[in-house]
């Protein structure tokens, strides 16, 4: 594969031995850094009896304490920061819709690291310097817009920073400026696709769609790819790791998400324990950031469920580990009528029914102490409720209630799509 297929060829194609040496060196440095510069993380290590000098390689990582989202919230806003305030250059944070928000501060070095990881993703998807990239995530506290922007600058792309909303104008700008790369949250990719169909427009220059931040089943990827007429990629990153794209993305082979191992060390643990699971077995993704300064995470329990797909060299030429697309979260599992399932299973099933739209609702409610589920979906007139019920029963083992709505009739939320709702006693959805 030619060198222009990589942003940093020597690192993206480094041997396993070279990657392990890089990771071990960087792990030693980051453990010393957090121990020396953050009281909270130092106390955690002391309570566990960890001597930072004893951490010599990634083989020793199991000795370190684990972090989780609760720790971020307890330490709001900056009690986990490992640098002086005058070294900070930027900050982003989660929405805080489920409580105290998670804050991520950045030094200039951290912003460069973010841009480097994102640039790798752009180039891996097939973008080239000068390509017009349309950035639809919002530019604000949410990290999506700025992450896409930092990476596009590093990759030398022509940036069209539209931000969120006004979809007809987004489509016009994409057509006028020849957008080749479109970025956004998954649900906004769906919205662009729908409005293109309503406007009877095509975007002939569009070849690459990079989407993330939400559940993204294979069936949904195929639907968006067909609707946009572009190759679609699943980008991965979170506030705690430094933002969108920091962890990685799938390559053009579309066989798992490459995690940038020179920046992050990956563990898969059994949920609720510290027991590692074998490659190929599902568990909770645990991440250690090796190159961040302001707030490196050490063994952060992401809550995301995945597995190691392969540690072999990918046919794209990259050597970095591949994990399965996220199937759900540890706390996302739903139990209805004695059946355990994840929202992604419902999405995968709905998207396989010809004629179904991309918008749906999963509504959980309790009736006289018994939990029940309703699944509403948008679809073309040819799709009947019986067809939906039959497909869901085959997938889940029981028949949920639900209705089929005309395309465009179910409500849409700004920003990230909400798929799972809980019906309160007064009938409102929360």
Per-residue pLDDT of the chain (430 residues; tens, 9 = 90+): 355 799 999 999 999 999 999 999 999 999 999 999 999 999 999 999 999 999 999 999 999 999 999 999 999 999 999 999 999 999 999 865 556 889 999 999 999 999 999 999 999 999 999 999 999 999 999 999 999 999 999 999 999 999 988 999 999 999 999 999 999 998 889 889 989 999 999 999 999 999 998 878 888 889 899 999 999 999 999 999 999 999 999 999 999 999 999 999 999 999 889 999 999 999 999 999 999 999 999 999 999 999 999 999 999 999 999 999 987 778 777 777 667 787 878 888 898 899 998 889 998 887 766 678 899 999 999 999 889 988 888 888 788 888 999 998 998 776 677 888 888 777 788 7
Residue 285's domain comprises 1-330
Do 389 and 326 lie in one domain? The reply is no
Contact (CB, 8 A) for 69 and 303: yes
Domain of residue 380, CATH code: 3.30.300.30
Cα–Cα distance for residue pair 199/408, rounded to 1 Å:
14
Cα–Cα distance for residue pair 338/343, rounded to 1 Å:
16
Of 266, 257, 267, which is closest to residue 318 (Cα–Cα)?
Answer: 257
Residue 428 lies in a domain: no
Cα–Cα distance for residue pair 38/44, rounded to 1 Å:
10
- Look at the chain and report how many structural domains it folds into: 2
Cα–Cα distance for residue pair 293/25, rounded to 1 Å:
15
Do 367 and 387 lie in one domain? The reply is yes
For 358, 360, 364, 387, 400, the CA distances from 391, given in Å and listed in that order, are: 16, 15, 19, 6, 11
Do 134 and 173 lie in one domain? The reply is yes
Last residue of a domain, one of 330, 361, 391: 330
Last residue of a domain, one of 296, 330, 364: 330
Domain of residue 216, CATH code: 3.40.50.12780
Cα–Cα distance for residue pair 356/9, rounded to 1 Å:
42
Strands 257-259 and 243-250 turn out to be: antiparallel
Cα–Cα distance for residue pair 343/420, rounded to 1 Å:
8
In the block, which residue shows the tokens 């959805």?
429
The model carries a pTM of 0.83
Q: DSSP per residue over 177-228, as a string?
A: HT--EEEEEHHHHHHHHHHHHHHT---TT--EEEEESS---HHHHHHHHHHH
Cα–Cα distance for residue pair 379/356, rounded to 1 Å:
4
Of 195, 212, 99, which is closest to residue 147 (Cα–Cα)?
Answer: 212
Residue 430 lies in a domain: no
Do 359 and 324 lie in one domain? The reply is no
- Which phi and psi (to 5°) does residue 420 adopt? -105, 130
Tokens of 24: 């071990």
Three-state DSSP class for residue 90: strand
């Amino acid at each position: 594969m030619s060198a222009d297929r990589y942003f940093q060829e020597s690192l993206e194609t480094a041997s396993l031995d070279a990657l392990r040496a890089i990771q071990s060196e960087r792990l030693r440095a980051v453990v010393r850094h957090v121990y020396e510069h953050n009281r909270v993380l130092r106390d955690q290590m002391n309570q566990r009896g960890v001597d930072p000098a004893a951490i010599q390689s990634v083989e020793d990582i199991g000795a370190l304490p684990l972090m989780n989202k609760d720790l971020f919230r307890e330490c709001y806003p900056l009690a986990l920061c490992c640098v002086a305030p005058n070294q900070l250059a930027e900050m982003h944070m989660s929405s805080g819709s489920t409580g105290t928000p998670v804050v991520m501060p950045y030094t200039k070095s951290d912003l460069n690291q973010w841009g480097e990881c994102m640039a790798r993703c752009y180039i891996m998807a097939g973008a080239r310097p000068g390509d017009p990239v349309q950035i639809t995530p919002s530019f604000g506290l949410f990290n999506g817009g700025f992450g896409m922007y930092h990476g596009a600058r590093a990759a030398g792309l022509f940036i069209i920073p539209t931000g969120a909303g006004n979809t007809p104008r987004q489509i016009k700008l994409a057509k006028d400026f020849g957008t080749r790369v479109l970025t956004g949250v998954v649900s906004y990719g769906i919205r662009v696709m729908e409005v293109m169909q309503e406007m009877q427009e095509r975007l002939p220059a569009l070849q690459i769609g990079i989407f993330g931040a939400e559940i993204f089943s294979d069936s949904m990827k195929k639907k968006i790819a067909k609707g946009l007429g572009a190759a679609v990629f699943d980008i991965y990153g979170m506030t705690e790791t430094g933002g969108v794209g920091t962890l990685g993305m799938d390559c053009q082979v579309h066989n798992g998400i490459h995690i940038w191992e020179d920046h992050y060390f990956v563990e898969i643990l059994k949920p609720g324990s510290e027991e590692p699971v074998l490659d190929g077995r599902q568990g909770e993704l645990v991440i250690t950031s090796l190159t961040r300064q302001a707030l490196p995470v050490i063994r952060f329990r992401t809550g995301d469920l995945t597995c190691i797909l392969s540690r072999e060299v990918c046919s794209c030429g990259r050597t970095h580990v591949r994990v399965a697309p996220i199937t759900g979260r540890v706390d996302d599992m739903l139990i209805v009528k004695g059946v355990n399932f994840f929202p992604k299973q419902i999405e995968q099933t709905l998207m396989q029914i010809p004629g179904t739209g991309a918008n749906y609702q999963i509504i959980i409610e309790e009736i006289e102490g018994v939990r029940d589920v309703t699944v509403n979906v948008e679809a073309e007139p040819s799709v009947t409720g019986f067809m939906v019920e039959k497909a869901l029963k085959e997938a889940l083992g029981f028949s949920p209630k639900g209705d089929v709505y005309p395309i465009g009739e179910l409500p849409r939320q700004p920003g990230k799509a909400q798929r799972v709702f809980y019906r309160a006693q007064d009938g409102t959805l929360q």
